Amino acid sequence: MSVRLPNPDEIRDAAARIAPHAVVTPVLRHEALDAMVGAQLYFKCENLQRGGAFKFRGACNAVWSLSDDEARHGVVTHSSGNHGNALAMAAATRGVTAHVIVPEGAVRAKVEAIERAGATLHRCAPSIAAREAKAAEIQQATGAVLVHPYADTRVMAGQGTLALEFLRQSEGLDAIITPIGGGGLQAGCAIAAHSISPDIAMYGAEPSGAADAAQSLAQGARVERFAPDTVCDGLRALVGEPNLQALRDHRVAVVTVSDAETIAAMRMLWQTLKLVVEVSSATVLAVVLQQREHFAGRRVGLVLTGGNVDIDALPW
């Protein structure tokens, strides 16, 4: 199935559509961190979004974009946690059913959040093929509309609202860094940011153990088979085909960081900003710490994508 990228007007429409439901999340600064890296850092705290992650933006836009006839059949997705939780919460705002397919081995705290949000939970093997097969099965049985975690125009448009909001809150940013897994957030943000500030530099932070986006850009073709090996559970997905095209079109530089660097950055965020963020979120600070000379003297926006941490299973 071919999925097109959203345009700036669709992202602005999404911002208006989700405004009654989504939180305008704060931007935090920290003088000691600025001094440490020699740059001005602006942290966009999507860990304080509804559901504890940026994913609510895309899910909410997708749910409220449906016609009444589509909505009455409900929605279905596959997710390791945050997108499933977000879709369940968004579906509840419209009173529709949400089916969420969760792979075995997903973070317990995230699965429990999906259940609390009222979704019907379905289990599957921990592979993309198993997820997609189960989603097709549920679509066939219920007529539910598939809301893909990242390769969905409505989802990408919703995620792009983050950049619109961020640039209103923090004028004059030279760069924005987001984590990259499937690429929906980066695609939406790059399109939105460049519609406002064409010269802003966009960066994707990717675990070295799940560096399919970096490899795909280097090879000039999407990596189709990849076995991720990283503690960053939210970044294990293969980058989507339309999302990869957005990375190319918007000259997104993907920087890879090790799990050790990312865990150290997670601890630093806890100690300095007093924020509990998922290890996947900490990749953005890990990039700046690794590439201090590159970012020196610049105003850098870092997107902290989520805060759904299992405190009984911290990565250190």
**pLDDT of 54:** 96
The CATH number of 56-146 is: 3.40.50.1100
- Kindly tell me if the per-residue pLDDT of 15 is higher than 80: yes
Q: State how far the alpha carbon of 269 is from the alpha carbons of 69, 195, 230, 234, 285, in Å.
A: 45, 30, 19, 18, 8
Mean pLDDT to the nearest integer, 31-59: 96
**pLDDT of 149:** 87
Residue type, 8: P
Mean pLDDT to the nearest integer, 174-198: 96
pTM: 0.93
CB 98 within 8 A of CB 88: yes
Lookup: tokens for 245:
């095209």
Residues of the chain with CATH 3.40.50.1100: 8-54+152-304, 56-146
The rounded distance, in Å, linking the Cα atoms of 175 and 299 is 7
CB 269 within 8 A of CB 304: yes
Output the DSSP codes for 105-133: T--HHHHHHHHHTTPEEEEE-SSHHHHHH
The rounded distance, in Å, linking the Cα atoms of 161 and 252 is 18
**pLDDT of 1:** 52
**pLDDT of 315:** 87
The CATH number of 8-54+152-304 is: 3.40.50.1100
The rounded distance, in Å, linking the Cα atoms of 164 and 187 is 13
**pLDDT of 177:** 98
pLDDT tens figures, 196-253: 999 999 999 999 999 999 999 999 999 988 888 999 988 988 898 999 999 999 999 9
pLDDT tens figures, 266-302: 999 999 999 999 999 999 999 999 999 999 999 999 9
**pLDDT of 151:** 87
pLDDT tens figures, 69-88: 999 999 999 987 889 999 99
Number of helices (H), then strands (E), belonging to the chain: the values are: 14, 10
pLDDT tens figures, 114-172: 999 999 999 998 887 898 899 999 999 999 999 998 889 999 999 999 999 999 999 89
